[in-house]
Amino acid sequence: MQLPWSRSAAHATHGVVIFTAERMSDSESAPTQLVNVGRDPLADTIIGERYRVLGRIGEGGMGTVFRVEHVLMKKVLALKLLRAEFSNVPDALRRFEREAQSASRLNHPNIISVTDFGHGATGELFLVMEFIAGQPLSEVLAREGRLEVGRACHIASQILRALEHAHAEGVVHRDLKPANVMLVRDVDPRLPETVKILDFGIAKMTQAQGSDEPLTRGMMIFGTPAYMSPEQAAGQEADSRADLYSCGIILYEMLAGRKPFIDEDLVKLLGLQITAAPPHFAETAPEAHVPPALETVVMRVLEKDRDKRFASAAEFREAIEESSTDVAELGARFAAKSVRMGFWLGAKVWAKRPLLVGLLRRGWALVCRGKTKLDQLAMPALKYLPAVLRRFALPAIAVALVLVLVFARGGGRKGASPKLEPPKPKPVAAEMKSPIKAIEENMAKGLLTEARVIIMQQISAHPKDGRVRFLLGNLEFADKNPGAGLQAYEEALRLDPGLRGDAALLINIRSELDDKKLGLAALEMMVKQVGKPASDVLVELATDDMRMEFRKLAREGCQAIGCIEKVDLVNSYSLDLSQARTCEDKREAVQKLGETGDKRAIEPLKKARTERRSLLGSLLGRRGRSCVAKDIDAALTALGEPPKPPAKKKRRRK
């Protein structure tokens, strides 16, 4: 069976042309737009006895698009002509006919309309559409970068209105991207631009009609990797929620000025679509100031699990509109809803007034009985209090009881605690043993791409299995991509805490501790997720690592997992004292040295006490150790070495 991520460009299987990931780029489905090209060989020829070719517009996934003129109506249109090499492929011909049938059912202001289709004189198939004098969103983004929040939301809302109509007709686009979104300016520049979606013709109908049968029996991937939903990337069947995911990618790109997932290797890019969480806007575009409510909407539609996304285009569109940043619009919408809600509640309350009055009376009676009972129980103990305090005692008791109940319901966090020894890893399911063996064998042979393909398939089939994520982390480290490796390990440990004792995981995480960018993240993973299996590493870092931030975090980790007694605290806090820049940090280090009770702490404290400021430090206004002199004296006294009083200077006799 041909894997969906094969690196071959194209091949034929049983007469079916299968385009693979390497061929799927934005250029595969060129938008209907006018381009500057030389005179086309077909110029002035007649297609279908009624369309004269005026010029070439662009290339599509299955054919070429021309600007044509209807010879009778003198109307300029766009005509899509099937490529000549596909003329004898039955599957391609049926797909083109199905394309025309499904596209002709769509009639919406935000969808390019299909007006005709038929056969040319030599048997070619063609599809006729309205001609759009606009520019694709892809060119706008390439020229302007990120768009304003209001404009991006306006464009996304129009895209979703088009998808609402198409999905209601049972049509899924499956290749939604900026190149297929045309922006048409109104004659009046004050009016907003209109969105027109192209290439609904290559969509697959989700509702079977008559005796229609599947067009292909092979494994095919439709779409563009950068905008493809996880289920499409995994070679699974796509439904309307795949279009919502693609629209979410487009909205993310409009807001941030870049796509959420970027990689030159298309196999890795498909893997990111399946496994990686989209980065937050604070990381990719902090200057955009995307409203938190809108970011929540975008992150929800980009969920890997399609069941966690919005259920429909209408729901997605309404969520975008609710997160609008237009204060006037929000105020008007809130006022309108408040008025409607007020009338509705008023009518309900008026209709139920006898019931409400009865409930209020019963509730007040219960409160009075409860107060009487509490008075009877508490008065024998409260009679000894002064009258002034007695009135506040009962409310205080009630508040204390509520607090006890609230905190009593708290408990330990679910999952294995880092303080404890790791449990055994979860057993490997029977159906996963063979793929896992194949992954390990490919990695041992250095066949990382082949191993990645199998891993992505297993993640798609078993998203809750930690072992596959763990193998993905090993693969990323072997492929010199430690940042992605740490993310995979983090997800693996969340799914299966038993993996935190694995030797390969510990070695790979430890290898990144000296990295300037990933070192702190690796240490935090050791402290918060790995825990006890990393105690030796944490002890070493807490004792003599030359980075103050790392020493502090390692000490906190040792304190949490119970290995603090192995740390040389005198050496650790002495380094803190020598590297501290503020009086607060110096004071904390001095106090900690005094609390060790170790005589070895006397020497660094005395050295700090007698240390003088340098000339440069004096010029810069630094206070040296003078601000903690009293704290040093107190620490030395606690260690049994009180400082000697300064010798009195003898006066000279005149």
Give the model confidence (pLDDT) of 250-264 as tens digits. Answer: 999 999 999 999 988
Query: Has 263 been annotated as catalytic?
Result: no
Question: From the DSSP assignment, how many helices (H) and strands (E) are in the chain?
Answer: 25, 13
| pLDDT score recorded for residue 63 | 73
| pLDDT score recorded for residue 18 | 31
| pLDDT score recorded for residue 587 | 87
Provide the residue ranges of all domains of the chain, joining segments of one domain with +: 31-130, 135-207+220-326, 353-408, 418-563, 568-643
**CA distances, 452 to each of 11, 299, 443, 508, 515 (Å):** 22, 25, 9, 18, 25
CATH number of 135-207+220-326: 1.10.510.10
Query: Is residue 652 very low, low, confident or very high in pLDDT (cuts 50, 70, 90)?
Result: low
Cβ atoms of 284 and 260 closer than 8 Å: yes
Would you identify the CATH topology of the domain 568-643?
Leucine-rich Repeat Variant (1.25.10)
| pLDDT score recorded for residue 69 | 93
Q: Which residues contact 285 (CB under 8 A, 6 or more apart)?
A: 146, 255, 256, 257, 258
| pLDDT score recorded for residue 125 | 78
Give the model confidence (pLDDT) of 62-73 as tens digits. Answer: 678 889 999 988
Q: Which of 175, 199, 496, 545 is catalytic?
A: 175
Cβ atoms of 394 and 375 closer than 8 Å: yes
| pLDDT score recorded for residue 6 | 41
Cβ atoms of 41 and 56 closer than 8 Å: no
Query: Is residue 188 very low, low, confident or very high in pLDDT (cuts 50, 70, 90)?
Result: low
For the cut 60, the answer to whether the pLDDT of residue 117 exceeds it is: yes
* pLDDT (average), residues 602-612: 79
Give the model confidence (pLDDT) of 319-378 as tens digits. Answer: 998 886 443 444 445 455 556 666 666 766 666 667 777 777 778 777 777 766 666 666
Assign 3-state DSSP to the chain and report helix, strand, coil percentages, each to 5. 55, 10, 35
| pLDDT score recorded for residue 327 | 39
Least confident of 484-498, 550-564, 600-614: 600-614
* pLDDT (average), residues 221-235: 82
Query: Is residue 215 very low, low, confident or very high in pLDDT (cuts 50, 70, 90)?
Result: very low
Average pLDDT, the chain: 77
Query: Is residue 275 very low, low, confident or very high in pLDDT (cuts 50, 70, 90)?
Result: confident
The share of the chain scoring above pLDDT 70, in percent, equals 71
State the Cα–Cα distance between residues 462 and 468, nearest whole angstrom: 8
Query: Is residue 298 very low, low, confident or very high in pLDDT (cuts 50, 70, 90)?
Result: very high
Give the model confidence (pLDDT) of 262-273 as tens digits. Answer: 988 888 888 899
Cβ atoms of 508 and 485 closer than 8 Å: yes
Which of 176-190, 407-421, 616-630 tops mean pLDDT? 176-190
Give the model confidence (pLDDT) of 363-382 as tens digits. Answer: 877 777 776 666 666 666 66
Structural tokens at position 15 = 């007469």
For the cut 90, the answer to whether the pLDDT of residue 425 exceeds it is: no
CATH number 3.90.1150.10 given to 31-130: no
CATH number of 418-563: 1.25.40.10
Residue bearing the bigger pLDDT, 14 or 230: 230
